[in-house]
Structures are given as C-alpha cells and as structure tokens.
Amino acid sequence: MKRLLFLLCSLVSVFSSHAKAPEVSVLICGPGSNIYELEGHAGLLIDHPEYGKFVVNWGVFDFNSPNFVYRFVKGETDYMAAACSADGFIDAYKRQGRYVLKADIDLDSVQAEEVTRLVIENIKPENRVYRYNYVYDNCATRPMDVIEQVIGDTLSLDMAKGYGAGLATFRDVMRLHHASYPWYQFGIDTALGSGIDKPITIREKRFAPTMLGEMLPLIAFPDGSPLVKSIGYAFGMPQESPVLPPTPWYLTPLFGGWMVAGMALWVSVVQLGREPKFARWFDTVYFTLMGLEGLVLTFLIFISSHEATSPNWLYLWLNPLCFMGAIAPWLKRGKRLEICYQSVNFALLTGLTVIFLLGIQSPNPAFWPLILASALRALTNIYSSCRKNVRTAR
C-alpha cells in the first residue's frame, strides 16, 4: 500500500509539473555606476516547466567584432539577443548593487507558450542580431514588442495619461536621467540633432528602462485589464542603486563655456586697443577646436546612418569652415578672407540663435556662452580688419 501511494504521489507530481503554465515577467535593472548605465537595463524572464527559468537580454554586443568602434559610430549598431539563467542574470546585478524590479505579466498559458516560442526563435544564431536604435528599438522596447505581438494588439497607456509631465521629447527624457552628469548630456546634445526634439507620446517614453519600470503598473491590455498581475523587487530598492557622483558645478560644460566667453570678451577688448598677437593665437586655438568638432558633425550628419544625427542645426556653427577663422589671421593678405568668413559666421550664428529660440532644436545650456564667444570674435575681427583697411587706404 505504501508503495502504491508513493507511486501515485510521484505520478501526480510529474503530471502537475508538466501541467504548470509558463510565466512571463519583465525585469527592470536600476542605473549603474558606468555612464552608459544611467537609464538602467531591461530583460524578459521566462519561467518554463520544460526549459527552466531564463532571461532574454536584447542588450548584448560583441566589442571584439571587426571594426566595432568605427561601425558603432557610423551607425551600424548591431546588437544581439541572448539568453542566460535567471539566477545568473540577477546575480550579475546584485554584484553591482543595482536593484532588479520584477513585473509578472498576466498572460494565459497559450500566450505564455507563444512568448517562449518567439524568444527562442529570436535567440537562434541566424535571428539574434538586430540593428539597435537608442530610442526606437532597444532592450526596453523589445520585451514589450514581443508581448504585443503575442496578444495581437497594442497595449493601452490610457491610465498613464499625464505621466512624465514636462518630458515632451526624447531629449527631455535623456536630460532627466543625465541631470547630474552634464558632460554626457553635452555630448548627446552636440551629436544628436533636431529629430529628438519632436514631441513624443507616452508610449515612446518607454525607451528608457527605468521609465518603463515606473510605467508598467499603468499599462493595460486593450480591454482595460492590467498588464501586470504582481510587481516587486527581486533584489534591492531604487534608492540603493549605485550611481556616479554628481559633477561639481566648476567642472561642468556650462561653467567652462562661460570661462571661454569671458576670455573671448577680454581678448576682444584688448584687441580693439592694440591688436596683440595673442588674439590671433586665441582665434587659432578656438576656431581649430570648432573646426575639429565640425569634422565630427560632418561624419555624423553625412556619413553615419544614425537617424538622430541629422538634421543637426549646430552645423551652422560647428563646421569645417571654422578652420578659416584659425588660418586667416596669419595670412599676409588674409584680412579680406577674414572679413568674408566672419561675416558669414556671424550671420549663421544669428540664424542658429533664431532656430533655438523657435524650439526647432533644443540647445545645451553650455552652447549659449560658446556661441557668444564665437559672435564676439566674429564682430571684433570684422571691425578690426575693416579699421585696418581704412587706415591702409589713408
């Protein structure tokens, strides 16, 4: 009798384990201490009776692949989907001290099986590589896309109306996450053009994993029922997540920009008195740096396939023509060239200022003093060259 009971219990255990429906959860990992981790990370956890517990991660890339850096800068951002054990995934973030939020998705067994099938198909070698896009196709958007593909409809964000008020564009969301790290945002504001300043929907704000984590309880199925049936932290809490120390005010690009503007003002005032040679040295250094940045923007706008880098109206200010401002002061007959260049330069700076004021492209705060410095040097050199030409004519 005992053996019979044991056999029955074993059979019940086996059948019940196979009868267990798969479970699907979205994992949101908190910000980390590296600059590229400030918006967190996301993955899709599958708890399957046959395959076990594993996480699909769409944020994997091979740094050792041929010409990785050049191809990444050029816009050929090939990322991969990969799977690892759930414990291994969570433990990796535990070691970094980053919280892991777990949101269980309310799918039936058929839908959960379909999610499993789709992600297994996705991580096959022939399918796993995809063209990563910072705002439209990344580790946070992919899990939600899989869920929408399974339910055959678009998830509703009606409950999230008004969420993230004041964050009207992709750039606004980025600035929220990078508020304490202005040099990182300065680089983004320089490289990325007006495309990230277009108004975005609540749905599009989910590109940032940490924002997706806050939005998950507000997302619903098309019939209005909640997407998430339970939510909690698999590890840690948000306030415990490590981040970089904030940048001191005296090391920010804004402070540096005003220092440059102050120096440009001083050089201009002194130049109007006696035209010292160091004014030419200042222009050589300043406009050379502007020209080098112009070369970078030329690559990003005209060669790179990053869609967010063009149009970039900063090209009116930062372009290869800036090298003329560095060279002209040293040419024996360069005054006419300098007047022509600086006149065009000042007109372009005026146009850029209008574009900023109209909201077509949102400037980094540090751009204003740097543009002022360029305008001061342009007007001073125009006036100085014209005055010298008048004296020569006399």
Query: Is the domain of 215 the same as that of 119?
Result: yes
Nearest CA-CA partner of 102 in 25, 46, 48: 25
pLDDT at 75: 80
Nearest CA-CA partner of 317 in 337, 339, 289: 289
Decide if 57 is inside a domain.
yes
Query: Is the domain of 68 the same as that of 210?
Result: yes
**CATH code, 97:** 3.90.1720
Nearest CA-CA partner of 356 in 136, 177, 165, 171: 171
- Is the separation of the CB atoms in 12 and 53 below 8 Å? no
pLDDT at 163: 84
- Is the separation of the CB atoms in 352 and 297 below 8 Å? no
User: Which domain range does residue 129 map to?
Assistant: 23-163+203-240
pLDDT at 245: 79
Decide if 1 is inside a domain.
no
Spatial strand order of the sheet with 129-131 comes to 129-131, 78-85, 52-60, 41-48, 23-29, 100-105, 228-235
Query: Is the domain of 353 the same as that of 290?
Result: yes
pLDDT at 389: 62
Decide if 37 is inside a domain.
yes
CA angle, 91 as apex, 86 and 95 as ends, to 5°?
Answer: 160
Decide if 187 is inside a domain.
no
Q: Name the domain boundary from 220, 240, 260.
A: 240
Decide if 124 is inside a domain.
yes
Owner of token pair 């990563």: 132
Decide if 182 is inside a domain.
no
Query: Is the domain of 210 the same as that of 273?
Result: no
Query: Is the domain of 222 the same as that of 316?
Result: no
- Rounded-to-5 percentages of helix, strand, coil across the chain: 55, 15, 30
Decide if 48 is inside a domain.
yes
- Is the separation of the CB atoms in 46 and 95 below 8 Å? no
Q: What does the alpha-carbon distance between residue 121 and residue 124 come to, in Å, rounded to a whole number? A: 6
Which tokens go with 144?
A: 């939600």
Query: Is the domain of 79 the same as that of 144?
Result: yes
Query: Is the domain of 230 the same as that of 351?
Result: no
- Is the separation of the CB atoms in 354 and 360 below 8 Å? no
- Is the separation of the CB atoms in 218 and 157 below 8 Å? yes
Indicate the number of domains in the chain. Answer: 2
Query: Is the domain of 208 the same as that of 262?
Result: no
Q: Name the domain boundary from 240, 267, 291.
A: 240
Query: Is the domain of 355 the same as that of 230?
Result: no
Which tokens go with 75?
A: 């816009």
Q: Name the domain boundary from 240, 261, 285.
A: 240
Query: Is the domain of 153 the same as that of 262?
Result: no
Decide if 304 is inside a domain.
yes
Q: What is the pLDDT along the chain (394 residues), one digit of tens a residue?
A: 444 334 334 433 444 444 578 999 999 999 988 888 889 999 999 999 999 999 999 998 877 777 767 787 788 888 999 999 999 999 999 999 899 999 999 999 999 999 999 999 999 999 999 999 989 999 999 999 999 999 999 999 988 888 888 899 999 999 999 988 999 999 999 999 999 999 999 999 999 999 999 999 999 999 999 999 999 999 988 875 556 778 899 999 999 999 999 999 999 999 988 767 889 999 999 999 999 999 999 999 999 988 899 999 999 999 999 999 999 989 887 788 999 999 999 999 999 999 999 999 999 999 999 999 999 999 999 998 887 665 555 5
Q: What is the pTM of this model?
A: 0.87
Query: Is the domain of 337 the same as that of 207?
Result: no
Which tokens go with 391?
A: 């004296």
DSSP code of residue 107: -
Query: Is the domain of 258 the same as that of 298?
Result: yes
